[in-house]
Amino acid sequence: MKSLRIIMFTTFYPPYSFGGDAVGIRRMAQALCARGHEVTVVHDETAFLSLGGQLPAETRSSDQIRTIGLRSRTGPLSILMTQQIGRPVNHAARLKEIVKQSTYDIVWHNNISLIGGPGLIDYGTGLRVYEAHEHWLVCPTHVLWRYGRELCERRECFRCALSYRRPPQLWRTTGFLDRQLDKIDLLIAKSTFSQAKHREFGLRHEMDVLPYFLPEIDVDHVRPHQGHGRPYFLFVGRLEKIKGLQDVIPAMTRVPEADLLVIGDGDYAKTLKAQATNNPQIKFLGRLHPDELTAYYRGALGLIVPSVCYETFGIILIESFRIGTPVIARRIGPFPEIVEAANAGALFDTEDQLVSAMFALLRNPDLRALQSVAARAAFLTRWSEDEVLTAYGDALARAAHRKGNRALASALEAGSFQNGAGRV
């Protein structure tokens, strides 16, 4: 009897991280540890620090995950070489040493763009998994946001990369990535939209769709935020142009009965605050602790998700649904499939539709109550930890059978990813 040994590779991992994908990776690692598995996460501290990240005040974690943060004496040169060559360079010897320290049952690749690129897929001999948290497999800039100003509908990668001030990756023209993905046993997309977008942009490999999840909480014990006296809508996320908040700010002048509370920070914050200077309805609260954030979700009329780019999922939607708060999201990317599956919100294309959806929640408490119940029910059946981990276990078991690893397949079929299990 032994726990599954799992190693995860990712460029960013909390607290050396910027966005929600790293939080999702940590959440998966924590869930696997809770089920009795031994989890090692290898990430690149140099990449985070070289891209403007600040050295965290506290780097130790209270969970049982073993984390290995890689540092390079050459700093930004290290990640530039990996970005250009598509293989581990400065960290190659260290990575080989790490994978030789144990026999891993599952080698789990996440965002590996700067920790080793597609060349990292050769490291380790267990069941190989690749989870596409971004669109990096088909987009050098990860986000399918062409020239930093528009949705990408066709490949213009060379010029687009230059517009982002990034050197083009010539290895992408050699077929190297395709050959490396041939070695992956399970390739995961986070939504059916992302699965289709990968296919549209040339990925020939099959992808299983497995969404993000959140652990369940006792909603009855979550108190709504009490410090704001007026009805409010909520925006949560990085303050960047692609998140679309600039389109919501002018709409608020048409909804004088409610406020907009903005939680998050980012490079576009100064511009957004200047845009909202003359509107006292809009409050910028900065980054908040997760416990505070939960209270704000609970007290909100609805969460507004106005992103203008193609995301792979949108974890803040299920954060809102978990609390029972409806969502008003732009009709783009994976948002329609999530909102329509939950039947707990509205979609918009125009400012008029956004304002109409806001008024519906503001002036019709019965509608909001119905959507709140639907949001909770959808979360429990689609995006709760136990439901999603069971689906992961089934997908991994099928991949293990395809690979001919009967022992691993049997362990997964016996429920090693289900709650309270974790023994082979």
Q: For residue 419, tell me if it sits in a domain.
A: no
Check pLDDT > 70 for residue 383.
yes
Q: For residue 423, tell me if it sits in a domain.
A: no
Check pLDDT > 70 for residue 174.
yes
With cut-offs at 50, 70 and 90, classify the pLDDT of residue 384.
very high
Are 285 and 313 in contact by the 8 Å Cβ rule? The answer is: no
User: Are residues 62 and 11 both part of a single domain?
Assistant: yes
User: Are residues 205 and 278 both part of a single domain?
Assistant: no
Q: For residue 418, tell me if it sits in a domain.
A: no
Check pLDDT > 70 for residue 60.
no
What does the radius of gyration of the chain's CA atoms come to, in whole angstroms? 22
Check pLDDT > 60 for residue 420.
no
Q: DSSP readout, 25-80? A: HHHHHHHHHHTT-EEEEEEEHHHHHHTTPPPPS----SSS-EEEEE--TTTHHHHH
For 120, counting Cβ atoms within 10 Å of its Cβ (0-12 exposed, 13-18 middle, 19+ buried), the class is buried
Cα gap 138→320, rounded to integer Å: 30
With cut-offs at 50, 70 and 90, classify the pLDDT of residue 62.
low
Could you report the per-residue pLDDT of 21-53, keeping only the tens digit for each? 899 999 999 999 999 999 999 999 999 999 988
Q: How many domains does the chain have?
A: 2
pLDDT top residue among 420 and 224: 224
Please give the residue range of the domain that contains residue 159. Answer: 5-214+385-413
User: Are residues 137 and 234 both part of a single domain?
Assistant: no
Q: For residue 145, tell me if it sits in a domain.
A: yes
Q: For residue 164, tell me if it sits in a domain.
A: yes
Q: Is 381 left (phi over 0), alpha (psi -120 to 50) or beta?
A: alpha
Check pLDDT > 50 for residue 292.
yes
Check pLDDT > 50 for residue 423.
no
SS (H, E, C) 1-28: CCCCEEEEECCCECCECCCHHHHHHHHH
Q: For residue 42, tell me if it sits in a domain.
A: yes
Q: How far, in whole angstroms, is CA 356 from its chain's centroid? A: 29
Q: For residue 422, tell me if it sits in a domain.
A: no
User: Are residues 20 and 83 both part of a single domain?
Assistant: yes
Q: For residue 103, tell me if it sits in a domain.
A: yes
Q: What is the mean pLDDT of residues 180-185?
A: 98
Note the pLDDT of residue 55: 84
- Location of structure tokens 């620090």: 49
Q: Give percent of the chain above pLDDT 70.
A: 97
Phi, psi of 21 (to 5 degrees): -65, -40
Q: Among candidates 268, 47, 250, 46, which has minimal Cα distance to 148?
A: 268
Q: What is the mean pLDDT of residues 72-82?
A: 92
Structural tokens at position 240: 């960047």
Cα gap 183→390, rounded to integer Å: 24
User: Are residues 330 and 375 both part of a single domain?
Assistant: yes
User: Are residues 233 and 368 both part of a single domain?
Assistant: yes
User: Are residues 156 and 284 both part of a single domain?
Assistant: no
User: Are residues 83 and 37 both part of a single domain?
Assistant: yes
Q: DSSP readout, 230-297? A: S-EEEEES---GGG-HHHHTGGGGG-TT-EEEEE---TTHHHHHHHTTT-TTEEEEE---HHHHHHHH
With cut-offs at 50, 70 and 90, classify the pLDDT of residue 284.
very high
Note the pLDDT of residue 422: 38
29: number of CA atoms within 13 Å, CB side?
29
Q: How far, in whole angstroms, is CA 63 from its chain's centroid? A: 20
Cα gap 301→362, rounded to integer Å: 7
Q: What is the mean pLDDT of residues 172-198?
A: 97
Q: Look up the CATH number of the domain holding residue 379.
A: 3.40.50.2000
Note the pLDDT of residue 348: 98
Q: What is the pTM of this model?
A: 0.93
Note the pLDDT of residue 252: 97
User: Are residues 129 and 230 both part of a single domain?
Assistant: no
User: Are residues 310 and 207 both part of a single domain?
Assistant: no
pLDDT top residue among 375 and 73: 375
Could you report the per-residue pLDDT of 245-260, keeping only the tens digit for each? 999 999 999 999 999 9
User: Are residues 393 and 353 both part of a single domain?
Assistant: no
Min mean pLDDT across 62-66, 372-376, 385-389 is at 62-66
**Residues facing residue 283 across a β-bridge:** 261
Q: Give percent of the chain above pLDDT 90.
A: 87
User: Are residues 396 and 338 both part of a single domain?
Assistant: no
